[in-house]
Structure 1
Amino acid sequence: MSHMPELESAALPEDAVEVGRIADAWGIKGWFKVIAHSADPEALFAAKQWFLLPAEKGAKNFTGTRLLPIKQVRPHSDTIVATSPAVLDRNGAEALRGSRVFVSREHFPKTDDGEFYWVDLMGLQVHNREGENLGVVKDLLATGPQTTLVLGYEVDGKELERMIPFVDAYIDKVDLAGKTIIADWQLDY
């Protein structure tokens, strides 16, 4: 039987961003494996506390939002492992399995000019230089060295997708405040 660690209840901050989920226990000392949602998991490493929500599917060992203090986070082969002073053993780590991990936006490291967090690009409207609407960013794909924007748009009520490489050659401007991206791209590409 998994024993849920004693985690303090917390309100999910308004600027909370879902950055990953806890996959499973790792080892016997209370470490757990985390699957990051994006190729840029810096926020997982930077935040000293994570906010947990129960798994969307499967067993729920807690309700509401819980605060998970983080002691250490490190990359391990193709995943990330972490430990918390609140999670004392493998049973405690197993009880967290499936939990959704959120981090307050203020704990994200600052980005350099021209760098963006994936989460910031989601939902942005993309227009071309002519002002035509190319769609809304609904996903990002990391393909080797570059990231590709996946845009959703409608034609005659049908949901379609358009892909644009997120590279300087095609992206003129990202305006986070205005929630728009200007791309050098045509409707018929």
Structure 2
Amino acid sequence: MNSTKQRLILLGQIASAHGIRGDVLVRTFTGSPADIASYGPLSDANGAKFYKLRVVRVTDKGIVARIDGVTDRNSAEALRGQDLYVERAKLPPANDEEFYHADLIGLTAITGDGSALGRIIAVQNFGAGDLIEIRKDDESTTELIPFTKTNVPIVDFENGRVTVVAPVMVGDPEPQEAEVHKDDGTD
């Protein structure tokens, strides 16, 4: 992944043209949909093209916006599917116990005893909460772990890692405590 892409955070996507004057419907990934326009011009994934948005109104599907230089439906339709990014530095700091997905990607995942599991390659959300996707160091497969305080109790940006506790699955045997052998001197 190039350094430009690592500095960019996805804030929205142009879903469709809206009307005949070049307005677009934008699905936003910001806390408040209208906030997407407050970060200044947004860029494409490469940081090469910029789009200055002006919010016309907020809808239940996102926002209707005008983009500088887009004045007709055909031009707006050509932007369908365009992802809109902002530089990470323009975003406010995350609150305690909140994280930007982009900040988690690339962190090493370890177990409670410090054993390496792999690296976080993505953060997914299919509707039931965030999942971190970990690619194991010795495999091409990945594992999805719920990104909860129970399953990821420690996020350590300073050392570039997260501590992962595997979730207990239905049907899994109860975890067994390690057997402790005492040397009582009677052999």
Q: Say how many residue pairs are matched.
A: 165
Corresponding residue to 1:166 among 144, 147, 155: 147
What letter is aligned with 2:42?
W
**Corresponding residue for residue 79 of structure 2:** 96
Structure-2 residue corresponding to 1:115:
98
Q: Deviations for 1:117-158, whole angstroms, at most 9, x for unmatched residues?
A: 111111211111100112211222224452111111144xx4
Q: 1:45 to 1:124 in 2, by over 3 A?
A: farther
Structure possessing the higher radius of gyration over alpha carbons = 2
- The CA distance in 1 between the partners of 2:32 and 2:88, in whole Å, is 13
Q: 2:8 aligned with 1:22, yes or no?
A: no
What residue number does 1:153 align with? 136
Find 2:36's aligned residue among 22, 26, 44: 44
Could you say which residue in structure 2 is the equivalent of 1:184?
165
| Residues 5 and 45, structure 2, Cα contact 8 Å, conserved in 1 | no
Task: Return closer, same or farther for 1:14/1:80 CA change in 2, 3 Å cut-off.
Answer: same
Distance 1:150 1:80, change over 3 A: farther
Unaligned runs of 5+ in 2: 173-187
CA distance in 2, matches of 1:168, 1:116: 12
SS at match of 2:141: strand
RMSD: 3.3
CA offset at residue 79 of structure 1? 4.4
Q: What fraction of aligned residue pairs are identical, expressed as a percent? A: 27
User: Tell me, what secondary structure is at the counterpart of 2:140?
Assistant: strand
Shift, 1:74, TM fit? 5.8
* SS of residue matched to 1:171: coil
TM-score (ref. length: structure 2): 0.69
Instruction: After superposing the two structures, state which structure 1 stretch, 111-120 or 95-104, moved more.
Output: 95-104
Distance 1:138 1:162 in 2: 10
Instruction: Name 2:110's counterpart in structure 1.
Output: 127
Letter in 1 for 2:133: V
Structure 1 length-normalised TM:
0.69
Equivalent pair of 1:18/1:100 in contact (CA under 8 Å): yes
Residue-by-residue CA offset, 1:59-101 (whole Å, 9 max, x unaligned): xxxxx82221121176533444432243223233123234342
Separation in structure 2 between the aligned mates of residue 49 and residue 29 of structure 1, nearest angstrom: 20
Task: Give the gaps of 5 or more residues in structure 1.
Answer: 1-11, 55-63
